[in-house]
Amino acid sequence: MIELKNITKSFQMGDTLVPVLKNISLKIERGDFVAIMGPSGSGKSTLMNILGMLDIPTTGSYLLNDIEVATLTEDELAIIRRGEIGFIFQQFNLLPRLAAWQNVALPLIYSEGKLDFEKAKNLLEQVNLGDRLYHKTNEVSGGQMQRIAIARSLINSPRIVFADEPTGNLDSKSEKEILAILRKLNDQGITVIIVTHEEEIGKEANRLIRMRDGEIQSDERFVPLRTDLEKVAPKTYGSQFSWKEILEHFNQGTRTLAANKVRSVLSMLGILIGVAAVVAMLALGSGAQKSIEDQLSAMGSNLLVLRAGNVRVGGVVQESGTRIRITMEDAKAIKEQIPGIQDVSPNVTGRGQVTYLNKNWNTSVAGVTPSYARMRTSVPDFGRFFSDDEGQQRALVAVIGRTVARELYGTQNPIGTMIKINKVNFLVIGLLPEKGASGPQDQDDRILIPTQTGMYRLFGKNYVDSIDIQVTRKEDIDGVEESVKEAMLKRYRIPVSSQDDAFQIFNMAELQNAITQSSKTISTLLATIAAISLVVGGIGIMNIMLVSVTERTKEIGLRKAVGAKRNDILMQFLTESVLVSFLGGFMGIVLGWTITFTFSIIIGWNASVSWQSIALAFGFSVMIGIVFGIYPAHKASKLHPIEALRYE
Ligand code: ADP
Ligand code: MG
């Protein structure tokens, strides 16, 4: 079953290669009970590790069931190790976080994908620990620990059990118990190979091999090899990926995190803050954008605003007396001559000192035409707007904004009352809809009166300050802008040299685009900053995972010794880091939602967390768990079983 030919093993110590095993040739048959004895440092453990496939020889050939071990990959070794071999260590190597039965069942994760309680219970009963199933390993004695370890070595029904000084750390009573168990196993047909210091134990074995300085010194047989064992078929080994295994890693990961609560929470903190920031930024950003868009559309859409510019003659700005003055007639002409225009409103603007009874208020007063109400979404929600006739008659009527109403009237109804604007009496006929502040400008702090009233009775002008032009279709807006400019230049016969500056036309659509664009840029920027904090959170996770890998080197060594492949270890640590980032992400979403909710109440924005941003945050945090967990997990998976086990 086992055949060693000229095995050597050397260790690199600094510059020199120290030979530890020299030319060992050895054959061990099925069903044997072999003891290996020798002074400390003679290479017994090194030989056991090679036999147990935890380590590979430097030269020589090792055939296990006629398979040359040297030709196997690390994962193939792991698979044979868990199927064929049970290993019992002097140091027990139990995992302290797990209960006795879970320690026993541990190798099953890698062979069957899940811990099987019944199997573990059975084996623990066989080693007389049926009453210690749920004890943690630090709650039992040394002898009991070793019996748990023996039960673990048997969980995959191995054909060979290796025990490296299993009683070295135990009292003589426990020693006898352990020996009895091993004897019983051998009676069941399991090959037992034991390294020991005790002459007594050596004498108990069927065959005793003595070693000295890495060589076999003697090889005696006390009991003839049994011949009653039937031939057995070689084991077949499955090694498929299984979700059950991931689930088990998940279970154990949760326990690991729970055992280290403060650290777990700290490692989640970065992701938590990052996700909360992303969620809140996206929600508040889109809320802000929406409120900006609302305000913009309240200003009117598809609008051009025409104003007179500064005409230069010979490079000198003309005196104000000779400046171009736009008139009501211009407005009329534009509307009649240029196709694609829905409506126009010639406007005048100025300041007005307004009084009602003993209240005083200074506000902006605009002379507009009735079409303005539709174009600028200023149809009064109480009272009415003035009519074209009232405009023609220069009627003294006013529609007032909310701020003006509040300042002059408080909660009283202003409609039907008389106010004075710059000492002229006006009848209040309507109340403008609330528009809210846009930047430093309060759009509700204004009074609208008919254009002609404003020109002739309030400001004393025979011209208008601007003409609002509403274009019927959005696509035409640039074309209409050109036509208006051309028509105006023609009407005023502006020389070619001054044409650029003669008139200014504001394109509100362009302005709106620019504002929308910049608000988008700002929210993208905020989201980017939030994303950076996510990355920082990820680095935090990586850091903690690296510490965890180092701390748990021994555990990794043990897991590999009982049959974990590289991918099993990789998956285990990846599951843990994803778990951390997932939990962090979850709490981050809750926090982000809370922040959004609080802010939208305080500021009054209509901000809400969208499903997309939750999905994004979740996806992101899981991805960060994978990306930043992969390096530590990879590092763990590459550990060499024996070196990891020896790590202190
Ligand atoms: P035993 O189990 O018989 O006491 P070991 O097989 O553990 O002896 O060790 C034999 C010799 O090999 C010792 O001198 C030990 O220092 C050396 N040795 C074992 N493992 C290593 C290693 N990984 N690196 C360097 N030297 C080692
Ligand atoms: Mg040893």
pLDDT digits (tens, 9 = 90+) for 359-403: 999 999 999 999 999 888 889 989 999 999 999 999 999 999 999
In a domain, 590, yes or no: yes
Residues 256, 230, single domain; the answer is no
pLDDT of residue 529: 85
Compute how many other C-beta atoms are within 10 angstroms of the C-beta atom of residue 509. 18
Please compute the mean of the pLDDT values over residues 422-429 and round it to a whole number.
Answer: 95
Determine which residue's CA is closest to atom 13 belonging to ligand 1.
41
In 144-214, at which residue ranges do the beta strands (DSSP E only) sit? 160-164, 191-196, 207-212
Q: What is the mean pLDDT of residues 420-438?
A: 88
Distance 642 CA to ligand 1 centre (A): 12
Residues 280 and 205 both lie in one domain:
no
User: Which residues pair with residue 67 across a beta bridge?
Assistant: 64
Give the residue numbers spanning the domain of 540.
249-295+514-645
pLDDT at position 317 over 60: no
Q: How many helices (H) and strands (E) does the chain have?
A: 22, 24
Q: How far apart are CA 52 and CA 220, in angstroms?
A: 22
Q: What is the distance between the alpha carbons of residues 78 and 559, in angstroms, rounded to a whole number?
A: 10
| Model confidence at 548: pLDDT above 70 | yes
Q: Whose CA is nearest to atom 1 of ligand 1?
A: 41
192: pLDDT confidence band, cut at 50, 70 and 90? very high
Instruction: Supply 30's token pair.
Output: 């099925």
Q: What is the mean pLDDT of residues 217-243?
A: 78
For the segment 134-190, what is each residue's pLDDT rounded down to a tens digit?
A: 999 888 998 899 999 999 999 998 999 999 999 888 888 888 888 999 999 999 989
Output the pLDDT for position 47: 94
State the pLDDT confidence band at 316, using cuts at 50, 70 and 90: very low
Last residue of a domain, one of 240, 257, 274: 240
**Nearest-10 Cα torsion for 267, 268, 271, 277:** -120
Please state the rounded mean pLDDT for residues 325-345: 92
Answer yes or no: is pLDDT of 66 > 80: yes
Q: d(Cα 161, Cα 33) in Å, to the nearest integer?
A: 10
Residue 209 lies in a domain: yes
Counting ligands in written order, the one closest to the CA of 89 is 2
Q: Tell me: pLDDT of 234 over 80.
A: no
Per-residue model confidence (pLDDT) at position 475: 86
Within-domain flag for 9: yes
Ligand 1 pocket, CB under 6 A = 11, 13, 20, 38, 40-46
Nearest CA, atom 7, ligand 1: 45
Look over the chain and give the mean of its residue pLDDT values, rounded to a whole number: 88
Kindly give the number of the ligand 1 atom that is closest to the alpha carbon of 164: 2
User: In angstroms, what is the span from residue 47 Cα to ligand 2's centroid?
Assistant: 9
Burial of 167 (0-12, 13-18, 19+ CB in 10 A): buried
- Same domain for 260 and 224, yes or no, is no
Residues 22 and 165 in one domain: yes
Same domain? 276 vs 398: no
Q: Is pLDDT above 50 for 627?
A: yes
Look at residue 482 and tell me if it is in a domain: yes
Q: Using alpha carbons only, what angle is made at residue 394 by residues 389 and 398, rounded to the nearest 5 degrees?
A: 90
CB under 8 Å to 295, separation ≥6 — which residues?
Answer: 435, 436, 438, 443
276 and 341 in a common domain: no
Task: Inform me whether the pLDDT recorded for 314 exceeds 50.
Answer: no
Question: Which of 175, 209, 240 is where one domain is finished?
Answer: 240
Tokens in use for 582? Answer: 């997932």
Task: Tell whether the model's pLDDT for residue 538 goes beyond 70.
Answer: yes
Q: Give the pLDDT band of residue 310 (cuts 50, 70, 90).
A: confident
Say if residue 340 is in the same domain as residue 286: no
pLDDT classification of 438: cutoffs 50, 70, 90: low
The verdict on residue 315 lying in a domain is no
Boundary of a domain, candidates 172, 206, 240:
240
Answer whether residue 197 is part of any domain: yes
State mean pLDDT over 304-312.
Answer: 81
Q: Same domain, yes or no, for 404 and 450?
A: yes
In a domain, 307, yes or no: no
CA distance 29 to 245: 35
Number of domains in the chain: 3
Strands 160-164 and 2-13: unpaired
- Say if residue 183 is in the same domain as residue 114: yes
Atom of ligand 1 nearest to the CA of 38: 3
Distance CA 543, CA 280 (A): 26
Ligand 1, residues 13, 17, 45: which to mutate, most atoms within 8 A of Cβ? 45
Only one residue has tokens 């604007």, namely 421
Where on the phi/psi map is residue 92: left (φ > 0), alpha (ψ -120 to 50), or beta? Answer: left
DSSP class of residue 226 equals P
351 and 235 in a common domain: no
Radius of gyration of the chain (CA): 44
Q: Please tell me the distance from the alpha carbon of residue 412 to that of residue 12, in angstroms, as a whole number.
A: 96
Residues 203 and 270 in one domain: no
Q: How confident is the model at residue 507 (pLDDT cuts 50, 70, 90)?
A: confident
For residue 198, report the distance from its CA to the centre of ligand 2, in Å: 13
| Domain harbouring 50, CATH code | 3.40.50.300
Report how far residue 367's alpha carbon sits from residue 388's, in angstroms, rounded to the nearest whole number: 13
pLDDT band of residue 313 (cuts 50, 70, 90) is very low
Same domain, 636 and 592: yes
Cα(195) to centroid(ligand 2), Å: 8
In whole angstroms, how far apart are CA 580 and each of 265, 276, 539, 547, 590? 8, 15, 12, 14, 16
d(CA 354, CA 358): 10
Closest-CA residue, ligand 1 atom 2, reads 45
pLDDT digits (tens, 9 = 90+) for 579-607: 999 999 999 999 999 998 898 888 777 77
